[in-house]
Structure 1
């Protein structure tokens, strides 16, 4: 997959799902469309928390530094992100025009050590992409905002995420 360009997550009330759209840069802008159910939003949130935790410098992996460091990092990252530019859809749809229904969420390690987020349907092709720090925190924010609009009661705010990491030590 080419370089990540833009992401958008919206609530589709008629589907009771979140529509996750992302585009990649290049000569032709590719757009990937995925449906996320409430269950898989919760699973995705846990995977994102695992990614955040694994990216913490060693000196911040102990309590209470970890929680504070994650919260500060999140605020700084989100403050730098561009949430104002309107989403521009792609011209090429590698997974098809219709969104795929995500039924598998996983993390895997690239040969260079970076973590890759994997979102797949039950059958067929899915999406695997590297989320660097520049994109990871904004994705958390988009997911939390869309989940709040869906009124699913998931409480995906970052303060609670930091507390969850502290309590469970997600590994």
Structure 2
């Protein structure tokens, strides 16, 4: 995804028992993807800078603390009350039917241009920048959708906005 993201929505669909992720860019492209409970269980730790299976930090502690503070700030600044606006003439790079996400990969996660890639079994997926200014809003919209889903994943600490941290 090379264009600027201007709106993200995650909503629970009870008939599918999945979360529908919608991402709209500034040039009227709309990306649609289904997120299952299993995928979300892997994704949440990653959004907080943790390895999804062993829980170890993906970054050193100073970098991790800085990212946590940036995520917290971006969560507070986001507009989470406005309704999602479907573009007038949307383009669907992945198709009009949501893809089912099954795999998460990274590119240059330790670098300045880190990428988080959500992929289906086959075909192209969603490529997002791995930056705190996007991770915070993703955590917030997923937390809202998860509250509706009532999947009870025993990951309460993942939902918490980190307490303000003072770096030494």
TM normalised by structure 2 equals 0.77
User: Is 2:103–2:120's contact at 8 Å kept on the other side of the alignment?
Assistant: yes
- The structure-2 alpha-carbon separation of the partners of 1:78 and 1:55, relative to structure 1 and needing over 3 Å to count, comes to farther
SS of the equivalent of 1:124 reads coil
- The structure-2 alpha-carbon separation of the partners of 1:125 and 1:75, relative to structure 1 and needing over 3 Å to count, comes to closer
User: Is 1:108–1:117's contact at 8 Å kept on the other side of the alignment?
Assistant: yes
Paired position in structure 1 for 2:74: 77
Measure the CA separation in 1 of the matches of 2:154 and 2:85: 28
User: Is 1:107–1:117's contact at 8 Å kept on the other side of the alignment?
Assistant: yes
Paired position in structure 2 for 1:8: 9
Q: Aligned pairs, how many? A: 152
User: Is 1:49–1:161's contact at 8 Å kept on the other side of the alignment?
Assistant: yes
- The structure-2 alpha-carbon separation of the partners of 1:12 and 1:136, relative to structure 1 and needing over 3 Å to count, comes to same
Paired position in structure 2 for 1:19: 20
Higher helix residue share: 1
User: Is 1:147–1:154's contact at 8 Å kept on the other side of the alignment?
Assistant: no
TM normalised by structure 1 equals 0.76
Paired position in structure 1 for 2:140: 141
- The structure-2 alpha-carbon separation of the partners of 1:127 and 1:75, relative to structure 1 and needing over 3 Å to count, comes to closer
Structure 2 unaligned residues grouped into runs of 5+? 51-56, 161-168
User: Is 1:47–1:106's contact at 8 Å kept on the other side of the alignment?
Assistant: no
Measure the CA separation in 1 of the matches of 2:82 and 2:59: 27
Paired position in structure 1 for 2:97: 98
- The structure-2 alpha-carbon separation of the partners of 1:10 and 1:147, relative to structure 1 and needing over 3 Å to count, comes to same
User: Is 2:109–2:115's contact at 8 Å kept on the other side of the alignment?
Assistant: yes
CA apart distance, 1:85: 2.4
CA apart distance, 1:87: 1.1
Measure the CA separation in 1 of the matches of 2:84 and 2:46: 25
Structure 1 unaligned residues grouped into runs of 5+? 164-171
What RMSD in Å do the two structures reach over aligned CA positions? 2.9
SS of the equivalent of 2:146 reads helix
